[in-house]
Amino acid sequence: MAPLAPSFEEAVARVREALAERPSRPLEVPGFRRAGVLVPILARPEGPTLLFTRRTETVPHHKGEISFPGGGCEPRESALAAALREADEEVGLAPAGVEPLGALDDVPSIARYVVTPVVAAVPAPPPAFVPAEAEVSEPFELPLARLLDPSIRRAALWDPARLPATAAAALLAVRVPFEEVDAATGHWRVWSFHADPARVVWGLTARVLADLLDRAFRGDLPR
């Protein structure tokens, strides 16, 4: 049976406490750009949800994939500022309605970015979001209760030899543990969340989501 999700207020309090327990772990990879993504927790009458986007087929990277709102940092722009700006541009989530709660650990992207995930509370979200036509084909929400259901979370092994050569060389040079390594095969264990058959969260977004759920809601998850 899936665990009951906390209320919006409890979820926000638990995330804030979990992220305050230790500073986020920064990462520097030579040649990789900085980026910020927003992990928005929304207050809805039926319970808290998380906001995701599906990319269009015309964006430079991650075509058609599911992600959190976000993108590359402009010169001298912080990851938080980039995440808030991109969320506003991509789906119309106004920064004034967003309360940042803290950052998760930096993660590298095979598109040669170092991504800082910023978790935020949205106590009064708009009834619907308006996607930027060129970037987002669909903004959608998934209930926190559904994401905490252990039956939708799966792991698979992925061969790092499939990485673009330049990205692989950069990651190996700084010894970045891109994912948990399977000792028997040397392959990376990657997560996916099958909350909706048409909306499978995987890759970097799933890794960020798993980090958030494990740190803030570990008491609700099976060991």
In a domain, 12, yes or no: yes
In terms of residue numbers, what domain contains 175? 8-220
In a domain, 30, yes or no: yes
What's the CATH code of the domain at 182? 3.90.79.10
On whether the CB atoms of residues 34 and 65 are closer than 8 A, the answer is: no
DSSP output for 145-185: HHHT-GGGEEEEEE-GGGS-HHHHHHHHHTT---SEEPTTT
pTM of the model as a whole? 0.90
In a domain, 118, yes or no: yes
- Write out pLDDT tens, residues 69-93: 999 999 999 999 999 999 999 999 9
- Write out pLDDT tens, residues 135-169: 899 999 999 999 999 999 998 888 877 877 877 77
Give the number of domains in the chain.
Answer: 1
In a domain, 208, yes or no: yes
In a domain, 127, yes or no: yes
In a domain, 71, yes or no: yes
Statement: residue 34 has pLDDT above 90:
yes
In a domain, 26, yes or no: yes
In a domain, 174, yes or no: yes
Question: Helices 8-20 and 203-216 meet at what angle, rounded to 10?
Answer: 90
